[in-house]
Chain A
């Protein structure tokens, strides 16, 4: 099956700096890559996603890039703010026998210091 690896596991940045979280996947059949944000004590929620036919997608201060050849994708947060502090999960969704499954990375604890 699919294997999603996520790095780093923890990330601390100063308010206003940028943060980058990287993920790799193993199954070339995966074609959809969402990112979830989980604030302390809350449920994970989708913040941005990208499909395999797109190389980059941006939504205000967050962007995601995808390199299909290398099988890696990244989340970029610019001008970070304290409210960006949370755990971020990347995920990959496949086709065929694994249709309907979401494979998650282990998460990155992002802390933004004021």
Chain B
């Protein structure tokens, strides 16, 4: 049981390049999320999905796109990378607990640098 796995772990991009971050979970969770973490800013939600085929915007969606074609995968795309997108990206998945509330499980993170 691998949990939540992100690919790649590190990446350096040039301004204007595109890339896709892959998140895979093997826990059959309905909900999946992409966060970015910057110093002093906590975890900011980029996009999320409440089920296969659905996506929704979070707090900071500009410059990113996502897709959830399969329940176990959630892809984050950067069409034209900018230095402001230099960050650590975390994927997470969660399930609805009995009695309410969602417990999130995080991937190991992707450190992205845009030069």
Contact = CB atoms under 8 A, between A and B. Distances in A.
A91 B90 CA distance: 16
Given A43-B109, A100-B50, A32 B97 contact: yes
Contacts of A32: 97, 100-102
Contacts of A46: 103-104
A106 B50 contact: no
Report which residue of B42, B48, B50, B96 has the largest number of chain A beta carbons within 10 angstroms of its beta carbon. B42
Contacts, number: 64
A28 B4 CA distance: 31
Contact of B43 (A45, A93, A101, A104): A104
A58 interface: no
B30 A51 contact: no
How many interface residues does chain B have, given as a range?
20 to 34
Nearest to A107: B42
Contacts of B106: 43-45
How many interface residues does chain A have, given as a range?
20 to 34
Report which residue of B48, B101, B107 has the largest number of chain A beta carbons within 10 angstroms of its beta carbon. B101
Contacts of A99: 50, 96
A102 interface: yes
Nearest to A101: B48
A9 interface: yes
Contacts of A36: 104
Contacts of A107: 42-43
Given A89-B43, A104-B43, A106-B40, A51 B104 contact: no
The 10 closest A-B pairs by CB, nearest first: A32-B101, A106-B42, A43-B106, A100-B31, A104-B43, A93-B101, A100-B50, A107-B42, A31-B100, A93-B102
19 contacts: A9-B40, A32-B97, A34-B103, A34-B104, A36-B104, A43-B90, A43-B106, A44-B106, A45-B106, A46-B103, A49-B103, A89-B43, A95-B100, A99-B50, A99-B96, A100-B31, A100-B96, A106-B41, A106-B42
